């Protein structure tokens, strides 16, 4: 990654805000129905956004089908790989603009956006360019009754029009995680970013427009869920597949809609993730790792840890160590020196998280630290901040131990045996990720396969190789993405049998 200029500062309060438009069939489309894009740091308006209604979504589907029937549908894998690399280069050229957009929409600290969100978006396009350029099908020689044989080989064809609905927590990262392989496999895309975070998606559309993909290959529609762009997209008969990252309840609704036309779906949904920390773990590494896994991005990552199980001999020591580290977290505006935690995404989401703070106390939790709204005495008090929070004392069947909160909070519970730890970790309707902290290699190999999750980390967290399968079980999702697993979802294999 090349060096970039210093972080851009956000626009001054009261400054003219931009208009974020839909991008359909290679054209920018304004609509009369608009909504505000809100900065969660201080409640100010970042931009006005044009909402896509049924007519705009219909137009996007028609444009995507035209692209599939035309130039984009005839591209080779190598040409698509080259297009993805040009998109990556385009994001890199506008790196600072993407950073500023992501921060304005989410309020996350600048270091997070600069070192994770935007670099990973660039990496997504390059990784899938490499994947599709080297992908290959199967080939088998078969015997036949006449002894002459047959040749069977597979070709992978695009699904067609793919609807992509992405979330607000890692906006560009998770959008490109789907857009890149969908385009790599030759599909036309209609992307619907979260209404909370439309800015970086709009910049992505600008980059794609600049590099000159055939009109209709990539389309962007803004809006909400039911009775808006998301609902119109997920129920459209002309959409051939749907991929979604977000809440499990929304995934259920989309799955129900997709069932009407039996279209392929890929869902990465919620999590109520556990960490198991054994007494033989490297203590400082476990504390540091848990601090990250509980509070990164203000706890607004599907992979974050909300349930921490600690072997009893080190339980009290661990609770106090994590409390001390948590109370050193600096909360504030993204461009402030030393700030590592920003606000929650919206007033609505903060109200939800705070309702769990109240519920935890009602259910008998001991608040080790946090549980409140910080005050600043300036414009940040109009934002959506909460203090990072640690609880102890809840039973595993408490609502706060079973329902995804999606905020900067974790509960710490002692355990005595491996069996107790495994039972507790698996005792949830979710199944996305588990972190094991132990220096016992045999234990790690013994327990990791027993975790009812799609991902198990040992002595680390959030370490990703983009070639590996990513996804969850139970309420945490359907299907896997990453590397060849993404290519398998976004393409349809066809067997061709040649009689010799």
d(CA 200, CA 115): 16
Residues facing 141 on adjacent strands: 151
Q: Is 302 a catalytic residue?
A: yes
Phi, psi (deg, nearest 5) at residue 494? -125, 130
Give the 3-state DSSP-derived string for 158-183, with helices as H, strands as E and coil as C. Answer: ECCEEEEECCCCCHHHHHHHHHHHHH
Q: Is 284 a catalytic residue?
A: no
User: How many Cα atoms within 13 Å fall on the side-chain side of residue 452?
Assistant: 17
- The answer to whether residues 268 and 429 touch, using CB atoms and an 8 Å cutoff, is no
Q: Which residue is catalytic, options 268, 306, 404, 481?
A: 268
Token readout for 249 is 């309840």
Residues near 68 by beta carbon (within 8 Å), at least 6 away in sequence: 158, 160, 161, 187, 188, 216
Token readout for 336 is 């402030």
- The answer to whether residues 387 and 294 touch, using CB atoms and an 8 Å cutoff, is no
Task: Name the one residue in this structure whose structure tokens are 């203000």.
Answer: 298
Token readout for 76 is 């080779």
Token readout for 399 is 């609502």
Closest-CA residue to 162 (of 143, 181, 145) = 181
Burial readout 453-471 (b: 16 or more C-beta within 10 A, e: otherwise) = bbbbbbbebbeeebeeebb
Give the distance, in angstroms, between the CA of residue 57 and the centroid of all CA atoms in the same chain. 23
Q: Which residue is catalytic, options 302, 304, 400, 410?
A: 302
Annotated catalytic residues are 268, 302
């Amino acid at each position: 990654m090349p060096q970039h200029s210093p972080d851009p500062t956000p626009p001054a309060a009261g400054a003219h805000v931009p208009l974020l438009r839909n991008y359909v069939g290679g054209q920018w489309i304004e609509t009369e129905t608009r909504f505000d894009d809100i900065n969660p740091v201080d409640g100010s308006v970042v931009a006005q956004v044009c909402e896509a209604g049924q007519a705009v979504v219909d137009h996007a589907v028609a444009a995507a089908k035209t692209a599939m029937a035309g130039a984009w549908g005839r591209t080779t894998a190598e040409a698509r790989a080259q297009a993805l690399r040009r998109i990556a280069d385009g994001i890199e050229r506008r790196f600072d603009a993407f950073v500023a957009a992501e921060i304005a929409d989410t309020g996350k600290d600048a270091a997070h956006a600069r070192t994770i969100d935007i670099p990973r978006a660039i990496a997504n396009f390059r990784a899938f360019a490499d994947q599709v350029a080297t992908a290959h099908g199967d080939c088998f020689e078969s015997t036949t009754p006449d002894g002459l044989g047959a040749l069977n080989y597979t070709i992978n064809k695009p699904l067609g029009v793919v609807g992509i609905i992405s979330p607000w927590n890692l906006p560009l990262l998770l959008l490109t995680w789907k857009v890149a392989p969908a385009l790599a496999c030759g599909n036309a895309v209609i992307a619907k970013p979260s209404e909370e975070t439309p800015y970086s998606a709009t910049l992505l559309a600008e980059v794609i427009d600049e590099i000159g993909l055939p009109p209709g290959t990539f389309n962007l529609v803004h809006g909400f869920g039911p009775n808006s762009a998301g609902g119109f997209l997920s129920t459209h008969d002309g959409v051939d597949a749907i991929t979604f990252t977000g809440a499990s309840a929304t995934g259920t609704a989309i799955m129900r809609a997709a069932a009407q036309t039996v279209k392929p779906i890929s869902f990465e949904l919620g999590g109520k993730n556990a960490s198991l920390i054994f007494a033989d773990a490297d203590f400082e590494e476990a504390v540091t790792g848990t601090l990250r896994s509980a509070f990164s991005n203000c706890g607004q990552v599907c992979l974050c840890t909300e349930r921490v199980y600690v072997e009893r001999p080190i339980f009290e020591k661990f609770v106090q160590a994590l409390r001390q580290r948590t109370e050193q977290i600096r909360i504030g505006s993204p461009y402030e020196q030393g700030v590592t935690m920003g606000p929650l995404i919206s007033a609505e989401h903060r109200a939800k998280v705070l309702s769990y703070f109240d519920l935890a106390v009602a259910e008998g939790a001991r608040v080790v630290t946090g549980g409140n709204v910080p005050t600043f005495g300036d414009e940040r008090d109009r934002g959506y901040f909460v203090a990072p929070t640690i609880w102890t004392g809840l039973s595993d069947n408490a609502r706060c131990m079973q329902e995804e909160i999606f905020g900067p909070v974790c509960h710490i519970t002692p355990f005595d045996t491996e069996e107790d730890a495994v039972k507790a970790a698996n005792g949830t309707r979710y199944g996305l990720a588990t972190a094991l902290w132990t220096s016992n290699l045999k234990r790690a190999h013994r327990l990791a396969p027993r975790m009812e999750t799609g991902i198990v980390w040992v002595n680390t967290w959030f370490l990703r190789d983009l070639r590996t399968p990513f996804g969850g079980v139970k309420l945490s999702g359907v299907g896997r993405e990453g590397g060849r697993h993404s290519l398998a979802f976004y393409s349809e294999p066809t067997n061709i049998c040649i009689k010799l």
